[in-house]
Amino acid sequence: MYQVFLMDCNLYSLKVFVEVVRACSLTRAAAELGISQPAVSAHIKTLEQRFGERLLRRGVKETCLTAFGGEVHGQALVVFAELEELDCLAAGTSTRRVPILGASSTPGAFWLPQMLNKLQLDHSLHCEFHIGDSSQVKSWVLERSVLFGLVVELPAADCREVEQREIGRDSLQLMGASGHALTTKKNVRSVDFRNETLLVRAPGSSTRARSDSMLSPILPHFGRIVELNSGEVIKEAVLAGLGLAVLSSWSVRRELEQGLLVAVDAKRWSQQRPICLIRRAGRALRGQAAFLWDFFSKGD
């Protein structure tokens, strides 16, 4: 059965199909692969003829999977994951390669370093890691440039190609410096923000997306909204009394303990969020990779 499949099915066509699904577009997939759009269409047509069913629905703005296409896509991810493991085995790198992890800024700065230290002390294992926003980390995982990713929980629509497992939670709260008028006021009203500055992360940050959602009823009432690229810069600006900001409980643990930062109307303007470990869907884990997935999943 497998011999017949491999003879009839070109693995490159399968790769093209996976890239189309990732990009949600034949045009974007063609650009990523460095081939023409008609060539991409021809590869998809070859697969559809091979299976006798449609794999994709082509819309005006994006290309979507059919039900059968979803099943094929899941199996295709398994195929390429197995080929990657075979490549590592053939190269003799399965145990010698230093694993590289990807992490978004909050878990990467305030959770991962302690876990890596424990990994070194208890198991004599070393990992490297890269920091990016959640969308970058997901791309790294899919591109196989990192072993796993650590991100704020991805929306269901973004999880078609990845598996995610919750490893902890932090909370987002609207905060100000100790002594700020709104940190001592009960039942803060929308009009109370009219002279206030809100400091926010640039678009692309999961913290920005969730804070926009949480504060949507009062966003129009702020005197001004200032975008900054660094969470640490925002925290320091709040400490200096330059404005209010939605901050992660993980990132301000010390400041809260020391009373330097205080939540504004904590019952209204706070929200928990899951922190998750992600990997490519269908990836078969063995040896060191399986151990590391379990280690980080359990927070061991």
Question: Within 13 Å of residue 17, how many CA atoms lie on the same side as its CB?
Answer: 29
Helices (H), the chain: 2-8, 11-23, 26-33, 37-51, 67-91, 105-110, 112-123, 134-142, 206-214, 231-239, 253-257, 287-298
Q: Which CATH architecture has domain 2-91?
A: Orthogonal Bundle (1.10)
Dihedral of CA atoms 102, 107, 109, 114 in degrees, nearest 10, equals -100
Q: Quick one: pLDDT at residue 3? A: 41
Q: What is the pLDDT of residues 211-269, one digit of tens each?
A: 888 999 999 999 999 998 888 899 999 999 999 999 998 889 899 999 999 999 888 88
Q: Quick one: pLDDT at residue 88? A: 54
Q: Quick one: pLDDT at residue 1? A: 35
In the 8-state DSSP scheme, what is residue 154? -
Q: Quick one: pLDDT at residue 38? A: 92
> Where are the domain boundaries for CATH 3.40.190.10 in the chain?
100-168+275-298, 170-272
Q: Quick one: pLDDT at residue 222? A: 93
Cα 72 to the center of its chain, rounded Å = 24
Choose among 257, 276, 146, 260: nearest CA to 206. 276
Q: Quick one: pLDDT at residue 100? A: 84
With 0-12 / 13-18 / 19 or more C-beta atoms within 10 angstroms meaning exposed / middle / buried, residue 155 is: exposed
Beta partners for residue 152, in sequence order: 275
Residues 6+ apart with CB under 8 A from 118: 300
SS3 category, 253 = helix
Provide DSSP, 45-104: HHHHHHHTS--EEE-SS-EEE-HHHHHHHHHHHHHHHHHHHHHHHHHT-TTTSPPEEEE-
C-alpha distances in Å from residue 52, one per residue of 12, 45, 247: 18, 10, 52
Is CATH 3.40.630.30 correct for 170-272?
no
Q: How many CB atoms lie within 10 A of CB 180?
A: 18
In the 8-state DSSP scheme, what is residue 259? T
Residues 6+ apart with CB under 8 A from 116: 126, 127, 129
Write down the pTM of the prediction: 0.62
CA 3 – CA 170 distance, rounded (Å): 50
Q: Quick one: pLDDT at residue 42? A: 92
CATH tag, 100-168+275-298 = 3.40.190.10
Choose among 227, 125, 252: nearest CA to 176. 252
Q: Quick one: pLDDT at residue 259? A: 92
> Where are the domain boundaries for CATH 1.10.10.10 in the chain?
2-91
CA 200 – CA 56 distance, rounded (Å): 39
- Residue ranges in the chain modelled with pLDDT below 70: 1-9, 60, 81-82, 84-98, 157, 283-284, 299-300
Asked whether the beta carbons of 275 and 297 are under 8 A apart, the reply is no
CA 246 – CA 184 distance, rounded (Å): 17
